[in-house]
Amino acid sequence: MSPQETRLNDPQRPMAMQGIRVIDAATFIAAPFAGTLLGEFGAEVLKVELPGIGDPCRRLGTASDAGDSFSWLTEARNKKSLTLDLRKAEGAAIFKQLVAESDVVCENFQTGTLESWGLGWEDLKAINPRLVMLRVTGYGQTGPYSGRPCFGRIANAFSGLSYLAGEPDGPPMTPGSATLADYGAGLFGALGVLLALRARDITGEGQVVDVALYESMFRLLDELVPAYGAKKIIRRRMGAGTATVVPHSHYPTSDGRWVAIACTTDKIFARLTAAMERPELSAPGAFERMEDRLAHRKEVDDAVAAWTRQLPLAQVIAACDRAQVPCGPVYAIDEIFEDPHYRQRGNLLTVPDERVGELTMPNVVPRLCGTPGAVNSLGPKLGEHTDSILAAMLDMTPGQLAELKSARVI
């Protein structure tokens, strides 16, 4: 049963982040994704957007029938849209009032921007000492590059990740998606917020969570740093290969598909060679040990590829499954939609919406059996909740709201 199905069957079930209010004053993906993750588990997330314009993510990628992009509808799910011009004194004043009643602020403006509007950490901390402030920038709040603009592609490159993507004799490539660093920073940002909220339970005080886009990818590069620090090893591009393990790559099949096979131990390789009916490959004096295979990488990979080329994808997977060798298909998105495991796990969540009918998107991760997350709504219309938020939280009257709209503060 999917997390969404669990919530719908028991709407009174508690949620892990209920009672936490998050102000998402960020744009695009990185810091907003942290807010999305918190909102999926019950936090109230107020999305602050520029009046008449909104978050640029609304226009990022393919437009839906509602006008807003699929990225927006998916990544702004469960949020309430509040339009507010933070550059104006009246907007900044309202923002401070909202901060006084909130737990978390997420922002990813260029370093120093909020300070120039009187909304920096010291300003907000004075209003709400228990506030947790997530600040996501390309290079962090400190350091000689802290003022530089940055996007995910730049962060992927600066982190060392892009250098590793591509064929050995080719240029560095995009490592899957240019937005990997944005999503990675959002994940680390959400973790940082949770840690800061836990610390607040102990100390009673909030703090800043400082996440740099490049750091989210740099932290994930396994032994790259210590291998260079200790032995000056510079890992190069290896295509689908893996520096420390062989065979561990993508291999062609007879029906024009690709299969991923990973033999991370000598025992697994022995099981693979048995499945291949080539046990001599893992015999003593051949490629029994990992160091032997690393020294003869091409020969080992060629032998595996020669086997997979003789069989269709389904037969390769079946043979590997019988031998308990980790393998899997290299999927395109249409194949993911057809896969029974994705279907049974509920990984593809379809959410009804009056603007687009239904929209399928990735379901909530991780799964909690006691306090599961849920998706209750798609990314909202621009300013959809402005009046209700300001009336409920700040007791604003219809007349006051009309004046703010006239002045284009909201």
Helix residue spans in 121-179 (DSSP H):
121-127, 152-159, 161-164
| Predicted confidence (pLDDT) per residue in 140-152, tens digit | 999 999 999 999 9
Mean pLDDT score across all residues of the chain: 95
Topology of domain 3-220+348-406, CATH: Rossmann fold (3.40.50)
What's the DSSP call for residue 57?
G
Contact 245, 264 (CB under 8 A): yes
Query: Using one digit for the tens of pLDDT, what is the confidence trace for 352-393?
Result: 999 999 999 999 999 999 999 999 999 999 999 999 999 999
d(C-alpha 208, C-alpha 31), whole Å: 13
Asked if pLDDT for residue 6 goes beyond 60, the answer is no
DSSP conformation class of 372: -
224 pLDDT higher than 50: yes
Question: Two tokens at 258?
Answer: 């690709």
What is the reported pLDDT for 281? 98
CB burial readout 124-137, b (16+ within 10 A) else e: bbebbeebbbbbbb
Grade residue 11 by pLDDT with cuts at 50, 70 and 90: low
For the cut 60, the answer to whether the pLDDT of residue 1 exceeds it is no
Residue range 228-261, pLDDT digits in tens: 999 999 999 999 999 999 999 999 999 999 999 9
pLDDT in tens, 308-360: 999 999 999 999 999 999 999 999 999 999 999 999 999 999 999 999 999 99
Q: Please tell me if the domain spanning 3-220+348-406 has the same topology as the one spanning 248-338.
A: no
Token duo for residue 389:
């938020």
Could you give the residue numbers annotated as active site?
182
pLDDT at 262 over 90: yes
Helix (H, G, I), strand (E, B) or coil at 226: helix
**Residue 13 has what pLDDT?**
80
Q: How far apart are CA 209 and CA 227, in angstroms?
A: 29
Cα–Cα distance, 254 to 306 (Å, whole number): 10
Phi and psi for 77 in degrees, rounded to 5? -65, 150
Task: Measure the CA–CA gap between 20 and 121, rounded to whole angstroms.
Answer: 19
The pLDDT assigned to 41 comes to 98
Structural domain boundaries in the chain: 3-220+348-406, 248-338
The DSSP output letter for 69 is B
Closest CA to 4 of 352, 385, 384: 352
Q: At what angle do helices 266-275 and 313-322 cross, to 10 degrees?
A: 130
pLDDT at residue 338 in the model: 97
Fold observed for domain 248-338: formyl-coa transferase, domain 3 (3.30.1540)
Q: Which residues of 293-331 are buried (b: 16+ CB within 10 A; e: fewer)?
A: beeebeebbebbbebbeebebeebbebbeebebebebee
Helix (H) / strand (E) containing 251: strand 248-252
pLDDT band at 5 (very low <50, low <70, confident <90, very high): very low
Per-residue confidence at 10, pLDDT binned at 50, 70, 90? low
Q: What is the pLDDT of residues 27-67, one digit of tens each?
A: 999 999 999 999 999 999 999 999 999 999 999 999 999 99
Query: Is the model's pLDDT at 2 over the cut of 70?
Result: no
Q: Which has the closest alpha carbon to 90: 390, 342, 350?
A: 390
In a 13 Å sphere around the CA of 369, the CA atoms on its Cβ side amount to: 0
Distances (CA, A) of 244 to 78, 103, 227: 42, 44, 11
Contact 381, 81 (CB under 8 A): yes
- Model pTM score: 0.93
Q: What is the mean pLDDT of residues 293-313?
A: 98
Beta bridge partners of 328: 260
> Is the per-residue pLDDT at 209 higher than 80?
yes
